[in-house]
Amino acid sequence: MPTMSCDLTACPFQKIISAARFGPGRTTDEGPDPLMDDTLGTVAALYRYPVKSMLGEELDTTEIAAGGVRGDRAWALVDHETGKVASDKNPRLWRDLLKARATWDGDGVRVTLPDGTAATGDRSLSDWLGRTVTLTGVPPEGATLDRAVPEEVLDAGVTATVAVEPVVLGQGAPPGAFVDFAPVHLISAATLRATGAEAVRYRPNLVLETGGEAYEENGWAGRTLTVGSAVLRVIIPTPRCAVPTLEHGDLPRLPQTLRVPAKENLVEAVPGMGRSACAGAYAEVIRPGRITVGDRAALG
C-alpha cells in the first residue's frame, strides 16, 4: 500500500492536538491526588468501539488500561489506494462505516454488515465499501487519516468533495490503538441534552451524569477524574468534526450536533490555536482500573 507525505503542521486540527500534547503545562509524571475532593456525578453509560469509525457496543462495566477501554478502537480499516486509515471524518468516502457494527469478545472482533451478515474477511469488507481495504489491529507507522473540514461538510453535503486535513493518530495516547488523540473520550449528559443528540453520535467512552450545565467539560481540563478504581487526567475539550452529524445505523443525519456547539460552545481548546466547536473532553489514563455504570466520579 502506498504512503503519502504532507506538512501536518499546516493543518489546523493537527495544530490543536499537537499543542495539547506538547504545550506548556502538560505533564504525565505527576501522580494523582488519591483523595477525591470534588464529587462530580455518576457514570451514566459506557461504550466501546472495537473498529474505528464503526458502530460499537454499550457496556455495563469495563477495564480501563493505559491505552483506554479494553478493545476500544483496537482495529481499523486501511485503504490500499491511499495507505491511510479509513475514517468517517471524511464522509464522502467513508460514511458507510457507521452502518456496520463491531463487537469484541475478548479475543477477536466481529463485524456485522448493514444487511445483518457477518463480514468474513477483507474481501467482503472491500466488496461492501467498493474500495480495497484491510482490517488490521496494528497501526501503520505514522498512521494518518483525513478529516474533512466540518463546516464545509455542513454547507456542501456528505457527497461533496471538500477540503481535508491530514491527522496523525494517537499523539496523546500510548502506541497500539487507533484513537484520534487520547485514550479516553468522555461527555456529560448535560451536553447531550443541550445538543439534542444521542450519546453514540459523539462516540464517547464515558457519559457522566452530573446535574451540571452543558459544556461543563471545558472546565475539567488539567484536573484528575477518579471514576470507579481508575484515575484519568482530562486534557482538553474535544473539537468536533462532521461525524456526529452523519447517519449512525438507523439514526438519521442531525446537523445540529455540530451547529449547536458551534453556536453555544466555540472555545479555544488550546491557547493560541483558535476557537473550535467543542463537546466533551479527551482524557489520559493515570491509573488503570475498572469502571461500572453507576460508579461515582470525582474531580481532583
The predicted-structure confidence for 56-92, as pLDDT tens digits, reads as follows: 999 999 999 999 999 999 999 999 999 999 999 999 9
pTM of the model: 0.88
Per-residue confidence (pLDDT) for residue 9, from 0 to 100: 36
Mapped onto helix, strand or coil, the DSSP state of residue 114 is coil
Question: Per the domain annotation, does 215 fall within a domain?
Answer: yes
Grouping H, G, I as helix, E, B as strand and the rest as coil, residue 75 is strand
Evaluate whether residue 218 is within a structural domain: yes
The whole domain housing 123 covers: 27-299
Instruction: Going from the first residue of the chain to its last (300 residues), give the mean pLDDT of each consecutive group of 10, the final group possibly shorter.
Output: 35 51 41 60 98 98 97 97 97 98 94 97 98 96 94 95 94 90 97 98 98 96 97 97 97 97 94 90 98 97
Q: Hey, CA dihedral for 94, 96, 100, 101, is it positive or negative?
A: positive
**Position 235 in a domain:** yes
What is the structure's pLDDT at 192?
A: 98
Maximum CA extent, the chain:
53
pLDDT at 26 (0 to 100) = 40
The answer to whether 131 and 82 have CB atoms below 8 angstroms apart is: no
3 within a domain of the structure (yes/no): no
Q: Which residues of 223-257 are buried (b: 16+ CB within 10 A; e: fewer)?
A: bbbbbbebbbbbbbbbbbbbbbbbbbeeeeebeeb
Q: What is the CATH number of the domain that holds 116?
A: 2.40.33.20
**In a domain? residue 75:** yes
Overall domain count for the chain? 1
User: Within a domain: residue 14?
Assistant: no
1 falls within a domain: no
Q: Is residue 5 part of a domain?
A: no
> What's the confidence (pLDDT) of residue 37?
57
